[in-house]
Chains A and B, each alone.
Chain A
Amino acid sequence: MNQTLGALARFANPAELIEAAQKIRDAGYKKFDCHSPFPIHGMDDAMGLKRSPLGFIVGAATLTGATVGMSLQYWVAAVDYPLVISGKPFFSWQAFIIVTFALFVLFGAFGAVFGMLHLNRLPRLHHPVFYSDKFAKVTDDAFYVSIEAEDELFDEQKIQNFLSSIGGSDIELVAGE
């Protein structure tokens, strides 16, 4: 049994998409998104999005990496098998900074990529917007708004009028299982 999962509307250009985002936000919708072939400057504010928390994820990842790096070298060189090399102390931390830094960056990069994928709930190969054939143009040159049916204000009858009143075209209801 097919049910309505959301609504799509197309807008002509980035400026109209931003205006639409402001109006949808002001109308009180929460579960909507603005799709574009490239990121649009000013869209976060227009949609009323909070800052991305990715920085905290990356920060935690880098600190983990640095801790792992320094403790690995400490354990290897000073605890598990201490060897005197060139008369240097077992725990020659100055020489260990390089590898510590490398792992700081390595863990941070993994944190940035997998943190981003987690926040975006990707990979997700199946999504209601893909039911629309026209929507595929969004990765080329189209600008779309999508409003999910799960939104509290979503009403199948009213949504189409609302989207056309804010300047949307090619309005369609997306239905699927």
Chain B
Amino acid sequence: MSILNKHPQRDSAATEAIGGQELLVTGGHSFSTLTDKVSGIVETKTPPKWYLLFVMAVSGMMVLLGSIGWLVWEGTGVWGLNNPVGWGWAIVNFVFWVGIGHAGTLISAILFLLRQQWRTAINRFAEAMTIFAVISALVFPGIHIGRVWLAYYMFPVPNQMLVWPNFRSPLLWDIFAVGTYFTVSTLFWYVGLIPDLATLRDRATKVRKKVLGFFALGWRGGNRQWQHYEKAYLMLAGLATPLVLSVHSVVATDFATSMVPGWHTTIFPPYFVAGAVFSGFGMVMTLAIIARKIYGLEDIITINHLEKMNKIILVTGSMVGYAYMTEFFIAWYSGNDFEVFAFVNRAFGPYAWAYWIMFLCNVITPQIFWFKKLRRSIPVMFVASIFVNIGMWFERFVITVTSLSRDYLPSSWDYYSPSIWDILTFVGSFGLFFTFFLLFLRFLPMVALSEVKGVLPEADPHHYHHHKGGAK
């Protein structure tokens, strides 16, 4: 066993008890050392590094707000949009951020239904990442309409024109799908937090105890509560699973239902979902590697966890690569000249540079994870996860911009370049994301304590019977 043998007796006993399976938590932790470790992060004094990062993140958020202010004042002309390319970075960024969110829900809901217990170490902050990524995403449909004060047109609210939104449009489906996704993710996350907030409450005093007690809702950890709680968690996982698959499918129909070569294809929904999970795991990986290092969580988020995530990156990355090739095959097989042109133009036209960045990052990079050594190397996976993030942003850029810039009529072709305001808005959205994420790391338990305790061998009643020699 390659476990850390700080407490050899405990570890060997524990390993025996679960039939020689690998341990999910290493370092010989007990229930209370786990509590101390995770709660300690939010109870000790704020580290100076956190302030530094927070100032950077808030500055980024200010850049976002400034860029939005200028956009609202001046109009969408400040962006690089031109006549054929009416969908620019705003849509690219929206799809990018929504996609990132998908990994959090996959970890919290789908892996829960599949009884993948290793998810417990990473699900809390992956879910937090989902919520903040969806917030960053929702900024873009809000501002891309140009006249933001008319954003309420997107919702079915009675208005002065007596007209309603068009429910046959995928753009409206998007509002409902992403809105529901945000709400359900937040509910799921909060339900998961309740027992851990109670843990923090019971360690706190004075005002802090009152505030935490309010949000812990009076949780007592009684089995009469756990019974309904676990059922609610299961129900939420069951509802969130088809939801997460539908959200990016709906985003894909924004493209697929239009008559634009390169967009009008039935592979889009599954291909978008695979890409979303792929990009999301890239982001989870980037954040997890940094957080476990800074907060010393190597015993909880072990190298085995990271390796499992790398396997998911390999699988979904390969699915994305397969989809790229299928697109080319179908374009050729369809016999449609415009469709063939759209794809040849993507790979060899004026945006070939973007296409090949995307291809290298998304298709080639994950293939390194066929090798166990590379799957378990932290520097390698960190760099790879950054490449995945870059590649998936470029995928959305390639899909959106190449198709629009050259459609049916050569006389209406044009090349699209972003303006400085496009770039600042995108950079600023990272500021927004990291502001929320840093506040989360500072004030809430970043590891789902009650769930991690539940997967320790000591949490299983049979563990004790075994040691009594089967006597009851």
A: residues with CB less than 8 A from B are 13-18, 21, 33-44, 47, 49, 52, 54-55, 58, 62, 72-73, 76-77, 80-81, 83, 85-86, 88, 92, 95-96, 98-99, 101-103, 105-106, 108-110, 112-113, 115-117, 119-120, 122-127, 129-130, 136-141, 146
Contact = CB atoms under 8 A, between A and B. Distances in A.
Interface of A is mostly: helix
Interface of B: 30-32, 35, 156, 162-168, 170, 172-173, 176-177, 179-180, 183-184, 187-188, 190-191, 195, 198-199, 201-203, 213-214, 217-232, 235-236, 239-240, 242-243, 246, 250, 449-451, 453-454, 458-465
Given A99-B176, A113-B191, A139-B195, A105 B242 contact: yes
Contact of B465 (A15, A36, A81, A115): A15
A136 B187 contact: no
A98 B250 contact: yes
B454 A81 contact: no
Contacts of A102: 173, 176-177, 179-180, 243, 246
A18 B461 contact: yes
A14 B228 contact: no
A115 B232 contact: yes
A33 B187 contact: no
Q: Which of A40, A113, A125 has the largest count of B CB atoms less than 10 A from its CB?
A: A113
B453 A37 contact: yes
B162 A81 contact: yes
A127 B180 CA distance: 34
A33 B230 contact: no
A33 B223 contact: yes
B460 A41 contact: yes
B461 A41 contact: yes
A98 B176 contact: yes
Contacts of A125: 213-214, 217-218
Given A98-B173, A112-B232, A40 B220 contact: no
Question: Which A-B residue pairs are the 9 nearest by beta carbons?
Answer: A141-B31, A116-B232, A15-B464, A33-B222, A123-B217, A38-B454, A136-B202, A39-B226, A102-B176
